[in-house]
Amino acid sequence: MSNPFAHLGEPLDPSQATKKFFNLNRLGDPRYERLPFSIRVLLEASVRNCDEFLVKKGDVENILNWNVMQHKNIEVPFKPARVILQDFTGVPAVVDFAAMRDAVKALDGDPEKINPICPADLVIDHSIQVDFNKRPDSLQKNQDLEFERNKERFEFLKWGSQAFQNMRIIPPGSGIVHQVNLEYLARVVFDQSGYYYPDSVVGTDSHTTMINGLGVLGWGVGGIEAEAVMLGQPISMVLPEVIGYKLIGSPQPLVTSTDIVLTVTKHLRQVGVVGKFVEFFGPGVTQLSIADRATIANMCPEYGATAAFFPVDEVSIKYLLQTGRDEDKIRHIRKYLEAAGMFRDFSNSSQDPDFTQIVELDLQTVAPCCSGPKRPQDKVVVSEMKKDFENCLGAKQGFKGFQIAPDQHNSQVKFVYNDKEFELTHGSVVIAAITSCTNTSNPSVMLGAGLLAKKAVEAGLTVKPYIKTSLSPGSGVVTYYLRESGVLPYLVQLGFDVVGYGCMTCIGNSGPLPEPVVEAITQGDLVAVGVLSGNRNFEGRVHPNTRANYLASPPLVIAYAIAGTIRIDFEKEPLGVNAQGKKIFLRDIWPMRDEIQAVYQKIETVNKAWNALDVPADKLYAWDPKSTYIKSPPFFENLTLELPPLKSIVDAYVLLNLGDSVTTDHISPAGNIARNSPAARYLTSRGLTPREFNSYGSRRGNDAVMARGTFANIRLLNKFLNKQAPQTIHFPSDETLDVFDASERYQQAGLPLIVLAGKEYGSGSSRDWAAKGPFLLGIKAVLAESYERIHRSNLVGMGVIPLQYLPGEGADSLGLTGRERYTIIIPESIVPRMNVQVKLDTGKTFQATMRFDTDVELTYFRNGGILNYMIRKMAA
């Protein structure tokens, strides 16, 4: 077929020089063939930087001895071939670049040195919201409102695409970044300057890992780190361990790829793969399409790995042909990968490399499932969903508990909607969204949803009108094959109209619920439910009025929408009763795997509104002091060429005392701005009405809003308080204040701050504002039991110290209340992962590890962060 993204323009034209390649495989060393394929790609992708890496013979020897050296903290300088961004993370990146140009000029340097060196593609997919649904013009109305709200941001991004070289903007309406990457942007193999080398990518979105399903090594990094990569700085990483994940067997007929990935997610969370690569192998891989593999690779952040890699095989090559890549280039891709020892035959066990550890999954054992109600790793098989939810109702407040009094479990609240009376209870579904890059990129589950909708409509089933239903595909390709296969009209009949091409409900852009529904939920203090085909369901993320949110396959999203409640046993209870009085069960309409066929075809989507944006041609950005979207950040104020001396943190107060699994959504929410929040008060003071607030994600170009939005999640659980609230105690006055207001008082008094946390601090999205925001609140260090990889890197990038308790220790075991004052001794001579002394004003002393994992990270810390380092480097 032809290129489905032809309207977006061709990728950067590769060199037409003599074709050749250089790789370790030519050394003829048999140890190379024992390396995991992901490690081979990691090395080959860096081959083009021969002066930095491969000429060091000791490094080559260390890598070839990977099975020994993986445990010895060998540092690898990795330069990805390209960078991808989305607009929520892309706007602050371009803001930083614009501010860095100003800073370099102030230091008498050449501001145009601040410019991307490698290709950088920014896909606008995070701005559109579900404001309109269940109407034929929903798509157009939502897109129009998207431009009305975000015109200033879009003009700024368009300025960036013209002011900076090697930066390409994919306009709104094209699709979700990761699906556009999979279907169009991914090269698989680069041909540049006369050399072949594997495609590799880092992105400012944690689900960049989706591209590993196509055999392109990639993962999410913080926006700060991505900016350094764009400026030519290699990523400093420790040679990772690689977990071999062996797949055997074939999935059962009723199982979807969503069920497989939720099963894998729970399994790998139990195994423990944070900071490691996962590489899939075994005969079961041949049972998975590229879309299935991409679904599994997509949720890599949810199980904590750095990358989840499927090496290129015959199925990958067929996918490239299927999605319109140039046939001559595909022949060269195959030839290069075979010659370089990177082409995989999953049915040939003699190709199986050495792994750090091997775990196994029999696909035959996977059952239909969901995950929730508050975390993606909390898998629940569908047959146990009703019982599990009812257990959660009464359980203690936590990941699997809402602490509802037993006599309130069957509370009912009646309300009127469109002149009809309805009833809500605990477990009532109020949002049902087919959304996100995880599932809408997969033809099998999307066509499965369409077939289920067809059978449901033909059986006489309907969805209650107050349930907010929506369909936001990953690209126009999805709409095309749903329309061409004849199932789209049935989805529309059930309320699943196409409302936009973007992330939408998955990132909290779910739009408002009907006011009578919100009033009923509030009146009854009900645990209302959102069901979505997304990848994250953290508290407060999807919608402030849905306390329970479940991840499910697109067919199950429709099934629960029809049922209207999560408290249903599909085996024993009907989905509904049709006009003839017949009970219709889920098994009556569920599509079998062999009914579902994938179709791809060309789409034509030209965004006229984007083309019409008029922007200045200046290389330095003219900041508008009246803007509430774009503001020059204070990060580089008073920056000098000389390095400041290292200082200990003395007598710091604890701003927040947090528990386990604090996500970046808790730290820096992306969704709606609550009307009683510090950010709302700021925007109101600038003359805006609540209707004009937009979302935190859309305001990431303005540090004044984002600092006020830090720790503003309404579901934040601070141990200093007895409730969920974005508040804390200001200890000098003993007042309970909003987090921003408390931090402002501390900073005005010149008092440093730290945060105490438990395990998996910073899990979830890669958002850099989860590090920038704390920095602006005056937080000098975080002391946690463990960190998610990207967030730790972001803290390093902002000069905030990631401290980690020694193994087996934590706040509870050390008897820390958070009411103490902390002094952290930073010696003049520091080394990676060194232990430092922490002294309390109570007289207690203990040690913690500074999680600067490499010498490069220490250099960033000495400079006050990675961007300060790059400015000094460019100015010098």
Interval 653-677: pLDDT, tens: 999 999 999 999 899 998 889 999 9
Judgement on whether residues 578 and 657 belong to the same structural domain of the protein = no
Output the DSSP codes for 483-517: HHTT-HHHHHHTT--B--SS-GGGGT---PPPHHH
Q: Which of 435, 442, 440, 478 is nearest to 292 (CA)?
A: 442
Judgement on whether residues 585 and 712 belong to the same structural domain of the protein = no
Judgement on whether residues 379 and 487 belong to the same structural domain of the protein = yes
Judgement on whether residues 398 and 532 belong to the same structural domain of the protein = yes
Judgement on whether residues 531 and 562 belong to the same structural domain of the protein = yes
Q: Which helix (H) or strand (E) holds 228?
A: helix 223-230
Phi/psi of residue 497, each to 5°? Answer: -75, 155
Q: Is residue 770 part of a domain?
A: yes
pLDDT tens string 587-642: 888 776 555 433 333 322 345 666 777 777 788 889 999 999 999 999 998 889 99
Domain end, chosen from 558, 591, 624, is at: 591
Q: Is residue 793 part of a domain?
A: yes
Judgement on whether residues 740 and 666 belong to the same structural domain of the protein = yes
User: For 192-215, b where at least 16 C-beta lie within 10 A, e where not — what string?
Assistant: beebbbbbbbbbbbbbbbbbbbbb
Check residue 600 and give its pLDDT.
32
Check residue 20 and give its pLDDT.
41
Judgement on whether residues 378 and 303 belong to the same structural domain of the protein = no
Q: Is residue 852 part of a domain?
A: yes
| Stated pTM of the model | 0.76
Looking up residue 302, the CATH number of its domain turns out to be: 3.40.1060.10
Contact 372, 549 (CB under 8 A): yes
Check residue 8 and give its pLDDT.
31
Q: Is residue 869 part of a domain?
A: yes
> Who contacts 632 (Cβ-Cβ below 8 Å, separation ≥6)?
95, 98, 99, 102, 623
Range of the domain at 260: 240-311+346-366
> Who contacts 140 (Cβ-Cβ below 8 Å, separation ≥6)?
none
Q: Is residue 424 part of a domain?
A: yes
Query: Structural domain tally of the chain?
Result: 4
Q: Is residue 12 part of a domain?
A: yes
Judgement on whether residues 387 and 530 belong to the same structural domain of the protein = yes
Residue 579 vs residues 278, 560, 572, 776: alpha-carbon distances, Å: 51, 20, 20, 60
User: For 248-287, b where at least 16 C-beta lie within 10 A, e where not — what string?
Assistant: ebbbeebbbbbbbbbbbbbbbbebebbbbbbbbbbebbeb
Q: Is residue 86 part of a domain?
A: no
Contact 21, 339 (CB under 8 A): yes
Sign of CA dihedral 45, 48, 53, 54: positive
CA 313, 318, 319 angle in degrees (round to 5)?
95
First to last CA, the chain: 50
Judgement on whether residues 583 and 452 belong to the same structural domain of the protein = yes
Q: Kindly state the tokens that stand for 90.
A: 């892309």
Check residue 438 and give its pLDDT.
65
Looking up residue 714, the CATH number of its domain turns out to be: 3.20.19.10
The conformation of residue 11, written as its DSSP 8-state character, comes to: P
Judgement on whether residues 253 and 290 belong to the same structural domain of the protein = yes
Q: Which helix (H) or strand (E) holds 519?
A: helix 515-524
Beta strands 735-738 and 235-238, pairing class: unpaired
Judgement on whether residues 530 and 510 belong to the same structural domain of the protein = yes
Contact 740, 730 (CB under 8 A): no
Output the DSSP codes for 798-820: TT-EEEEEPTT--HHHHT--S-S
Check residue 706 and give its pLDDT.
96
- How far out from the chain centre does Cα 842 lie? 40
How confident is the chain (876 residues) per 10-residue block, as mean pLDDT? 33 33 57 88 64 44 67 75 89 91 92 89 84 86 87 91 89 83 89 77 91 96 87 83 95 86 90 94 94 90 92 95 86 87 94 95 93 88 93 92 93 95 96 79 79 92 94 77 84 90 71 92 95 81 90 92 94 85 84 47 45 77 92 91 93 97 91 92 95 89 96 94 94 97 98 97 84 97 93 93 97 96 95 96 97 91 92 86
Check residue 71 and give its pLDDT.
64
The conformation of residue 373, written as its DSSP 8-state character, comes to: S
Q: Is residue 516 part of a domain?
A: yes
Judgement on whether residues 359 and 280 belong to the same structural domain of the protein = yes
